[in-house]
Amino acid sequence: MLSVEREPAVAGTFYSSDPAELIKQLKSCFDKAENIITNHISALVVPHAGYSYSGIVAASAYAHIDPDAAYENIFVIGSSHHVSFHGASVYNRGHYKTPLGVVPVNLELTNALIRKNKDFVFKREAHAEEHTVEVQLPFLQYRIKQINQIVPIVIGVKDYDSCRRIAEVLRPYFNSKNLFVFSSDFSHYPSDEDARAIDEKTANAICQNNAERLIIQLEENNSSNVSNLYTSLCGWSSVLTLLYLTKDSNTYKYRRIKYMNSSEAMSMRKNRVVGYQSILVENDDRKTDVISEDNKSILLKVAHNAIQRHLGLKDESAKISNTDDLKQFDSAFVSIYVDGKLRGCIGQFASEKELPDLISSLAVTSAFNDDRFPPISIKELKKMSIEISVLTPMRKINSIDDIELGKHGVHLEVDGKKGTFLPQVALKTAWNLEEFLGHLARDKAHVGWEGWRKADLSVFEAIVFSD
């Protein structure tokens, strides 16, 4: 088969055709994005408008990728804007080109997809002028040091069941070796106010990881009589395919990264806008409770020993024989109870100490230096119990919808004031989400009941064990 490179179709319009200028353009977008590397990324949902409109939103998602990542394949999937056809068109005639160079296509895999599956075809017209795949490639070239191969797919179908079948074909490749990028803008042409409201509903539906819920939401959007609403998700077939890929699994966690619309991106008129939302999908199938039962017992003994030494008493042997399962942790809280009542709770994030040393230090501070309670006395030791919470790394969130009460602890920070609630606080109090955040803001950070609304919020999980 004669190799025919796919030439860039929108260079010079959606983004600069000059390599040096394009690098400057990309740098500007990434400079405005938070550089937070996230492991175990399965997929991204990113916009595909001109970079001056949606580049910051897209870069905010791409900035989560490790530049040293070595994906076997990057599947870049968009929905056709120009032609309708059965199934999905896979470019298998050559490689994609951008002003930054050639992006290799996995020709063996693209040929196999077409050869083995009736829902996968090649249609030249589906790729010739289509921008949804093309505009993503410079972001990938800028962010990732070495791109091995891509699999460019343009979906042409307009029915839900075809998206499900496409997802079934792609499912074997939806694993940790590959990255999937799904290209879509959100609402087209309503007012700024209407766009924000409808895009919020659409993003919420996507992040519920439920294909049927998204379908219902899109149909509600279409019948909502919002003035000038042409579509609420132009790449709905691509995003729906993603949801069919992750359905029936609670290990995939969706979280919104950044939202803007064209009125704020370009300081344009607010009566006719396009919405842009980036979303990250993380595979959370890692077992967080990886601390062995033996090491849990020993860590509890480490805490008890530290308190006994502080009181001048003899401690017992508490040697950690295998620290491999502890090395990944650098944050913890130690809570002290006497007769079942809290008598101290102190924690630390991102400590440079080894976990056993951190637990020892926190136990002493919690037992003797929590200024909310009197110090522990020798006579109380027999009534004392210890609860240890070993914390996973914190990650910043953009919406309180990303908080799962009982699973997530929350760290709040605003104007230099901070407060933290462990996950078990929600279970012990039965507060709803706004009560949980209100108490955190008022009682822990001392910024008032509504202070969480303007605060930076981060979540974490905890491995909790006690006497």
Q: Residue 164 is part of a domain; what is its CATH number?
A: 3.40.830.10
- Provide the 10 A C-beta neighbour count for residue 70: 11
In a domain, 219, yes or no: yes
Mean pLDDT across 387-416: 90
Which ranges in 117-261 belong to alpha helices (H)? 124-128, 136-143, 160-170, 192-207, 211-222, 236-246
Say if CB 233 and CB 186 are below 8 A apart: yes
Residues 380 and 399 in one domain: no
CA–CA distances in Å: residue 425 to residues 132, 343, 449: 45, 15, 17
Q: Which among 10, 37, 33 is positioned nearest to 22, based on CA atoms?
A: 10
pLDDT in tens, 428-466: 888 889 999 999 999 999 999 999 999 999 999 999 999
What's the mean pLDDT when you consider all of the chain?
A: 92
Residues 410 and 456 in one domain: yes
pLDDT in tens, 211-225: 999 999 999 999 998
Measured between alpha carbons, how far is 338 from 346 in angstroms, rounded to an integer? 15
In a domain, 11, yes or no: no
pLDDT in tens, 236-254: 999 999 999 998 677 888 9
Measured between alpha carbons, how far is 243 from 166 in angstroms, rounded to an integer? 11
Say if CB 59 and CB 280 are below 8 A apart: no
Torsion 155-106-104-35 (CA) sign = positive
Question: Given pLDDT bands bounded at 50, 70 and 90, which one contains residue 320?
Answer: low
Residues 411 and 358 in one domain: no
pLDDT in tens, 251-274: 888 999 999 999 987 777 788 999
Q: Is 113 helix (H, G, I), strand (E, B) or coil?
A: helix
Measured between alpha carbons, how far is 207 from 203 in angstroms, rounded to an integer? 6
* Residue 320, C-beta contacts closer than 8 angstroms, at least 6 positions apart: 295, 298, 299, 302, 326, 356
Question: Given pLDDT bands bounded at 50, 70 and 90, which one contains residue 395?
Answer: confident
Residue 61 predicted with pLDDT over 90: yes
Domain's final residue, options 240, 255, 283 = 283
In a domain, 2, yes or no: no
Per the structure, how many domains does the chain have?
A: 3
Residue 86 predicted with pLDDT over 80: yes
Residues 227 and 338 in one domain: no
Q: What percent of the chain clears pLDDT 90, i.e. is strictly above it?
A: 79
* Residue 108, C-beta contacts closer than 8 angstroms, at least 6 positions apart: none
pLDDT in tens, 291-308: 888 889 999 999 999 999
Question: Given pLDDT bands bounded at 50, 70 and 90, which one contains residue 315?
Answer: confident
Q: Show contacts of 350-356: CB within 8 Å, 24+ apart.
A: 354/323, 354/326, 355/299, 355/323, 355/326, 355/327, 355/329, 355/330, 355/390, 356/298, 356/299, 356/302, 356/320, 356/323, 356/326
Residues 344 and 373 in one domain: yes
Place of tokens 């693209």: 110
In angstroms and rounded to an integer, the radius of gyration of the C-alpha atoms of the chain is 26
Domain's final residue, options 385, 418, 453 = 385
Say if CB 258 and CB 57 are below 8 A apart: yes
pLDDT in tens, 152-172: 999 998 789 999 999 999 998
The verdict on pTM exceeding 0.85 is no
Domain's final residue, options 252, 283, 314 = 283
Residue 280 predicted with pLDDT over 90: yes
Residues 95 and 213 in one domain: yes
In a domain, 12, yes or no: no
Place of tokens 């990057």: 74
**For position 307, what pLDDT does the model report?**
96
How does 166-205 read in b/e, with b if 16+ C-beta sit within 10 Å?
bbebbeebbeeebbbbbbbbbbbbbbbebbbebbbbbbbb
In a domain, 62, yes or no: yes
Say if CB 147 and CB 95 are below 8 A apart: no
Measured between alpha carbons, how far is 120 from 56 in angstroms, rounded to an integer? 32
**For position 2, what pLDDT does the model report?**
56
**For position 324, what pLDDT does the model report?**
66
In a domain, 13, yes or no: no
Residues 268 and 187 in one domain: yes
Token pair belonging to 268: 């344009």
Residues 167 and 245 in one domain: yes
Beta bridge partners of 231: 188
In a domain, 399, yes or no: yes
Tallying the residues shown for the chain, one arrives at 467
Domain that holds residue 430: 395-466
CA–CA distances in Å: residue 61 to residues 34, 140, 237, 238, 448: 9, 11, 20, 17, 32
Residue 289 predicted with pLDDT over 60: no
Residues 337 and 355 in one domain: yes
Residue 405 predicted with pLDDT over 90: no
pLDDT in tens, 344-365: 999 999 899 999 999 999 999 9
Measured between alpha carbons, how far is 275 from 184 in angstroms, rounded to an integer? 10
Residues 125 and 252 in one domain: yes
Q: Show contacts of 357-360: CB within 8 Å, 24+ apart.
A: 358/330, 358/332, 359/299, 359/302, 359/303, 359/306, 359/332, 359/334, 359/388, 360/302, 360/303, 360/305, 360/306
In a domain, 14, yes or no: no
Token pair belonging to 272: 């006719």
CATH of the domain at 415: 3.30.1490.150
Measured between alpha carbons, how far is 166 from 117 in angstroms, rounded to an integer? 9
Measured between alpha carbons, how far is 140 from 41 in angstroms, rounded to an integer? 14
Q: Compute, in degrees rounded to 10, the torsion defined by CA atoms 309, 345, 356, 285.
A: 160
Residues 203 and 79 in one domain: yes
pLDDT in tens, 376-386: 999 999 999 99
**For position 1, what pLDDT does the model report?**
56
Mean pLDDT across 303-315: 92
Residues 335 and 435 in one domain: no
CATH of the domain at 353: 3.30.700.20
Question: Given pLDDT bands bounded at 50, 70 and 90, which one contains residue 284?
Answer: low
Residue 287 predicted with pLDDT over 50: no
Between 11 and 402, residue with greater pLDDT: 11
